Amino acid sequence: MTTLLIAVLAGIGFLVAYYTYGRWLGRKIFRLAADHVCPSESLRDDVDFVPTKRGVIFGHHFTSIAGTGPIVGPAIAVMWGWLPALLWVFLGSIFIGAVHDLGSLVVSLRNNGQTIGDVAGRLMNQRVRLLFLLVLLMGLTIVLAIFGLVIAIVFRMFPEAIFPCVIQIPIAIMIGLWLNRRGYSLVIPSLIALVLMYLSVIMGDWGPLASFNQTLAEWPTMVWVFVLLSYSFIASILPVGILLQPRDYINALQLISSLGLVVIGLIVAAFIGGAPVEIDGEAMRPALELSAPVAQWDPIGAPMIFPFLFVTIACGAISGFHCLVASGTSSKQLARETDAQMVGYGSMITEGFLATIVILACVAGIGLGVAGEDGVLLGKAAWSSHYTSWSDAKGLSMTVGAFVDGSSNFLKALGIPPIVAIAFMGVLVASFAGTTLDTACRLQRYVIQELWGNIGVSSESRKRMRRIAWSGPGRFIATGIAVVLGAALAALPSGGEWTWASMGTGGIILWPLFGATNQLLAGLAFLVIAFYLWRRNRPIWFLILPMILMLVIPMWAMIDQIFTNRGGDSAWWDQGRWELVAMGLATCVLEIWMIIEAILLFPRTKGLDPDTLNPATVKSEFASDE
C-alpha cells in the first residue's frame, strides 16, 4: 500500500500547489488579466500566431515539454534510491520547474511572443541576447540529432508502436482541418481521435500490420533520421493549426488517458496484486511493494548523487528546454492571458506527476514480474535485473525497458493482454519523443530567424534582415538550415568508422553536454524572469534560490564531467574527448559572462521598465517584402 499512498499524496500535493502557489504567482506576481490582448491576436498570421482554445494549447505544450525526459531521467535516477528521486521531482516541479515555465511564458506573452533569448536582449543587453541565442542553437541542434536516434531505438524495441505513431499524422490533419474550418466543439473530434488511436494500438500488430511494423523497424537509423527530420521540416513550416497543434492535442489525450489507466492499474495491484504469474507450477498474484532501496548513496559505477541527481532528472522537475517551448510556440497561441497558469504551471506539475508514476513503475511495478533466464523474476530480483550497475542502467534500452515493464505490469493487473499493454507503453514513449522533435524543429527555426535578424551594422540593415528572415521564403530557408544542422550532426559516426550502420548516431557525440547545458539554460531563463520583475518593482525573493541552484549545480556537474567525474566513467579530459571539453568549457564561459553582465546591470535597472513593444511595429518588421 506504500506505493499507492505515495501516488495519492503526490497527486493531492500537485493539485494543492496549483490552486495555491500557482494561483498566487499568476494573480499577485505576474498579474495575469483576461482583458490583455495576447500576441496571438495582435500579431495573428494563422501560421505561427494563432488564437487557440486552452485545451488544445495545453495538449501541445504538455506533450512538447515532456518528450522522453520524464521517463528516461527518473528511470536512471532511481539507482540512487526512490526517495531522493521522488523528493526532487515533487519539490522541484512545484517550486522551481513550474515557476520557470510560467515565468518564461508570461515574459514572452508580454513581449509579443518573442523567445526568451530575444527578450533577454530587451531586458538586459544585446550581448546577452546573442550569447543566449547561441546556447539555444547548440542545444536544439543536439535535440534534433539525437531524437531521431531515440525514436529509431524505441521502434526497434517495440515494433508494434510504429503503425499507431504513423497513423496519428493523418488523424491529426483531419482533426485540425475540421476544427479550423468548421469551428466545431472539441468534444466530438476528441472522442473520434481517441477511439481511432486506441484501435490503432490494439490492432497495430495484427496480420499485415505486423509485417509493416517489422519492415520499418529494420530500417537503418540514418533512414529514420532522414524521414523524421523531413516530417519535422513540413510540420515546422505548416500553420500550427494544421498539424502541430492537433497532433500534440490528440497525443495529449492518448497519453493522459494512458497515464490514467496506469494509475487505475496501480490501484488494483495495490489491493489485489499484479497479473497472475506461475511460480513452481502454481498461479499467484504478486504483491505490489517497493523493490528498490529507499536511498543508495554509492551505486556501482555511478557518479556522485550531488550534483548529478539534479541533472539526471531534468524534465519532471525543471528543464531549460521548457522555456523554449513556452516562449517559442505556446506564447504565440494563447488566446487569453489567464490561460497561462494552466498551460505554464499546470503542464509542469502534470509532468511532475508523470515522473512520479515513472518512478513508481520502475521501483514497484517492475517487481510484479519480468522475464528472466530461469523464469519470472519478482520483487527485488526483478528490480536488480535492470539495475545491476550504473553503466547498465543508463542505456536507453534499459531505462525505457524498466519503465515499460513496470507500467505494463500495472495495465496487466487490469486484465489487459500483455502484447497490448506493452504496445500502449511503447506508443506513449515514441509519441512523446515525436512531439518534442517537431516542436524543437520549429523552435530552432525561430532561433535561426532571430539570429538572422541580428545581422547588420546599422539599425536599418538589421530591420531589413529581420524582414527577410521572417518572410515566407525566410521561413523555408531557416527551417532548412535547422534540419541540415541536425542531420549533419546525426550523420557523424559516434565511434569507429564512417559506415552506413554507424550513421545516425552522431547526436551521441555531444549528448553528454545536454543534461548540464539544459539545466544551465533554466538558470539563465530565471535571470531573464528576475529582470522582468525587477524592472517593474515586483517581488523576486521566490526566484533567488531556484535561480542560484540552476546556475550553480549544472556548472558543477559540467566541470566535474570535464575534469574528474568522480564515481562515474572517466572524465572527458582523461578520455581525450576534446570536442566535449572545448564545448563544455565554452558553455561555462558563456554562462559566467552572462552572470557578470546581469550583476553589473541589476543595480541600475530596478524600476526601469523598458518601452512596451508596439505590435504594429513588430508586425511590420515580420512582414514580407512582397
**pLDDT 10s digits, 117-157:** 888 877 777 777 787 788 888 889 988 988 888 888 888 88
DSSP string, 512-557: HHHHHHHHHHHHHHHHHHHHHHHTTT---HHHHHHHHHHHHHHHHH
| pLDDT tens column, 32-61 | 999 999 999 999 988 899 998 898 899 999
The confidence score (pLDDT) of residue 288 equals: 94
The confidence score (pLDDT) of residue 624 equals: 37
The confidence score (pLDDT) of residue 97 equals: 97
Indicate the burial class of 406 (C-beta count within 10 angstroms; 0-12, 13-18, 19 or more): buried
How far is residue 46 from each of residues 64, 239, 349, 499, measured CA to CA in Å?
A: 20, 6, 30, 43
| DSSP structure class, residue 26 | I
The confidence score (pLDDT) of residue 619 equals: 53
- How many angstroms separate the CA atoms of 161 and 197, rounded? 11
Calculate ∠ Cα 49-54-57, nearest 5°.
Answer: 55
Closest CA to 311 of 95, 88, 141: 88
Sorted by sequence, the CB contacts under 8 Å of residue 206 that are 6+ apart come out as none
Average pLDDT, the chain: 88
The confidence score (pLDDT) of residue 618 equals: 55
Per the listing, cell 534560490 goes with 545
Please give the model's pTM, rounded to 2 decimal places. Answer: 0.92
pLDDT, greater one: 96 or 122: 96
- How many angstroms separate the CA atoms of 190 and 188, rounded? 5
Which pLDDT band holds residue 625 (cuts at 50, 70, 90)?
A: very low
- Provide mean pLDDT across the span 499-509: 80
Which pLDDT band holds residue 616 (cuts at 50, 70, 90)?
A: low
Report whether pLDDT(567) > 70. Answer: no
Sorted by sequence, the CB contacts under 8 Å of residue 142 that are 6+ apart come out as 489, 507, 510, 511, 513, 514
- How many angstroms separate the CA atoms of 623 and 463, rounded? 11
Report whether pLDDT(614) > 60. Answer: no
Helix (H, G, I), strand (E, B) or coil at 334: strand
| Pair 246, 173: CB distance under 8 Å | yes
DSSP string, 578-597: HHHHHHHHHHHHHHHHHHHH
| pLDDT tens column, 325-373 | 999 999 999 999 999 999 999 999 999 999 999 999 999 999 998 887 7
Helix axes 379-386, 396-412, angle to 10 degrees: 150
- How many angstroms separate the CA atoms of 311 and 313, rounded? 5
Sorted by sequence, the CB contacts under 8 Å of residue 115 that are 6+ apart come out as 108, 136, 324, 327, 328, 443, 446, 447, 450
The confidence score (pLDDT) of residue 67 equals: 80
